Amino acid sequence: MYSDLVMDHFRNPRNVGKIEDADGVGNVGNPVCGDVMQMMIKVKEDRIEDIKFQTMGCGAAIATSSISTEMVIGKTLDEARELSNKAVAEALGGLPPAKMHCSNLAADAIHLALDDYQSRHKK
């Protein structure tokens, strides 16, 4: 049902944890199932220097959180903003149709963390 890549990221999620002094934080909840995800970013010279996540959710939500952090780490803020939910699901080799809603959290949480960073740094 799940691709090997989904299973790998579910079993060995990358960048799980907290950044205590995060520069931006994004929280999202999935209205379909009630699962929640938090993304924390550290920004240096307009790039995502570090990113960590905490997800209370299903395997697909954990796998999408994990791979999305790998997709944006080291990227500029503008590049990270271009990440879409669809791109995250595709990077995992697709998700079963019933689990597609689970892929809606990761990019949204990253975008909210970017918004939070930008609102904190508004002049």
Query: Residues with catalytic annotation?
Result: 33, 102
H or E, element range at 10: helix 4-11
- Does residue 13 bind ligand FES (CB under 6 A)? no
Identify the CA nearest to 78 among candidates 109, 108, 118.
118
Residue type, position 98, single letter? A
Identify the CA nearest to 51 among candidates 7, 100, 116, 102.
116
CB of 32 to ligand FES, least distance (A): 6
Residue among 43 and 61 whose Cβ is closer to ligand FES: 61
- Does residue 61 bind ligand FES (CB under 6 A)? yes
CB of 47 to ligand FES, least distance (A): 28
Member of 35, 52, 107, 111 binding ligand FES (CB under 6 A): 35
